Amino acid sequence: MKQLWKDFMNGIITENAVLKLMIGLCPVLAVSTTVMNGIGMGFATTFVLLGSNLTIALIRNIVPKEIRIPIFIIVIATFVIITDLSMAAYFPGLHKALGIFIPLIVVNCIIMGRAEAFASRNTLIRSIADGLGMGIGFILILILLSGARELLGKGTILGVSLPFDGFEPALIMILPPGAFFAIGIMIAIFNNLFKLKSNGGHKHGSS
C-alpha cells in the first residue's frame, strides 16, 4: 500500500512530468489559454495515460522485446483515437477548442515515457497508480497554469468575469510568450518549494 502511495505521489511531486521532468510541454503551453481547455486536455491525456499504462502492464510479459515500441505506439494511438471520437461526440465544444492537440496526444512523451519506463516493468496495480499520479500531476499543473493565464490575460476564471472592476487584463498572458513567462515562474516556485533541485539529477527531455 505504501509502495502504491509512493508511485502515485511520484507523478504529482517527485517526478512531476511538466515541472520536474519537463516533458509534455508542447500541449501544456499551447492549450493553457483558458481553464476549461486546460481541464479538458488534462483529462484527455490522463485517460490515454491510464489506458496505455493499464494495457501495457497487462501484456508486458507476452510482448517480445524487439517490437515493444511499435506495440506501445499502437496501444497509445488506439486510446487517443477513442478519446478523440468520444470527445467529438460528447464534448463537441471542447473538442473544437482543443483541435489538433487531441490527436497529438499520441506523441506526448509523458505517455510513451511511462509506458517504456514504468508500465512495461511493473505490475498492473502499480502501473495504474503511476498512471493516475502522473495524470493528476499533469492536470494540476494545467489548471494552475491555465488559471493564471486566463485570469491575467482575460480577467476571467472558467469564463466568469472578476466580481470587481478596474483590472485591465494583460493580453500577452494568453499569447504564446505569456505561456513561457508563466511556466518559468511556476518551475522556479515549484523547485524552491520542494527543494528537489540539487538531488533530482538531470532528467531532461523535450516534447
Residue 82 sits at φ, ψ, to 5 deg, of -60, -45
Nearer to other proteins, 169 or 200 (CB): 169
Query: Could you tell me the three cell numbers for 94?
Result: 471542447
Q: Is 70 in the site for other proteins (CB under 8 A)?
A: yes
Binding of other proteins at residue 149 (CB under 8 A)?
Answer: no
Grid cell listed for 123: 505490475
Q: How far apart are CA 132 and CA 154, in angstroms?
A: 31
120 is an interface residue for other proteins by CB under 8 A: no
Q: At a CB cut-off of 8 Å and minimum separation 6, what does 48 contact? A: 76, 79, 80, 83, 105, 108, 111
Q: Which stretch binds other proteins (CB under 8 A): 72-80, 118-126, 159-167, 187-195?
A: 72-80
What residue type is assigned to position 147 of the chain? G
Is 139 in contact with 48 (CB distance < 8 Å)? no
- Give the integer Cα–Cα distance in Å for 83 and 92: 12
Contact map string, positions 19 to 38, toward other proteins, x by CB under 8 A: --------------x-----
Q: Should residue 75 be labelled a site residue for other proteins when binding is judged by CB under 8 A?
A: yes
Give the footprint of other proteins on residues 159-188 (CB under 8 A).
169, 171, 174-175
Contact yes or no for 8/132 (Cβ under 8 A): yes
Per the DSSP assignment, residues forming a β-bridge with 193 are none
CB-nearer residue toward other proteins: 162 or 193? 162
Q: Candidates 22-30, 68-76, 103-111, 122-130 — which segment interacts with other proteins by CB under 8 A?
A: 68-76
Part in contact with other proteins (CB under 8 A); list of ranges 2-10, 65-73, 103-111, 127-135 = 65-73
Residue ranges in contact with other proteins by CB under 8 A: 33, 63-64, 66-67, 70-71, 74-75, 77-78, 81-82, 85-86, 88-90, 92, 153-154, 169, 171, 174-175
